[in-house]
Structure 1
Amino acid sequence: MKVMEAKDKKILCQAIESHHQIECIYHGKKRLLEPYLYGILGGKEHLHCYQFGGESESGGLPQWRNLRLDDIKHLRIIPHSHFDIRSSYHPENAHYHSIEKGINV
């Protein structure tokens, strides 16, 4: 069973709290993301984020995404980045069973 490392969860929490953009590898593709929350969706830990750059398997960027935490690799905060909360962000629309960490609106 793959699990996101504690150090990466700490980085993710820092990015959510400070509204910093992140970069990671997900399913072998580089993703540029604005992290909004992480929690339980469909019984697994997921990140609810806005992908604004990089690559995607399904195309269609920019786009809201739910990424499985255990599939996120090489996570880092993008230096000197900051994002404003998007008007299209509504945490209740993500349908998470529980939220571990998230941006309050």
Structure 2
Amino acid sequence: MDLVREILLEAITEPHVYTNGNPSSEEFSDEQVGYHVWLMKQVGLVHAIIPRNLTSESPYAILVSSPWDGHDFADAAADGKIWNKAREGRYANLPNPCAGIPLQGAMVHLLT
């Protein structure tokens, strides 16, 4: 989930809304970043393009921008206190929290 946070925080800092593709990460491979962008697109956290001709074995997407829900999630994720509380909460032990939006739900709940 730290990669989801990293991608969103990068996306919302773009001065012209649209990104120049996926952000690079020192900790994660390009394939991991592309896969997480693909997952985030599935739950509405980002707008992304899914290329048709890829040699990657994993689903992959290219970041375009972040919609309203992505900005809300990123705002909550930017607050380290809220982020850590959500990560350590009851949703932290799920196999893939991004796929079912539970961490997003947890963060929204913490904010309200």
Question: Larger RCO: Structure 1 or Structure 2 (Cα < 8 Å, ≥ 6 residues apart)?
Answer: 1
Larger Rg: 2
TM-score (norm 2): 0.27
TM-score (norm 1): 0.28
Larger proportion of strand: 1
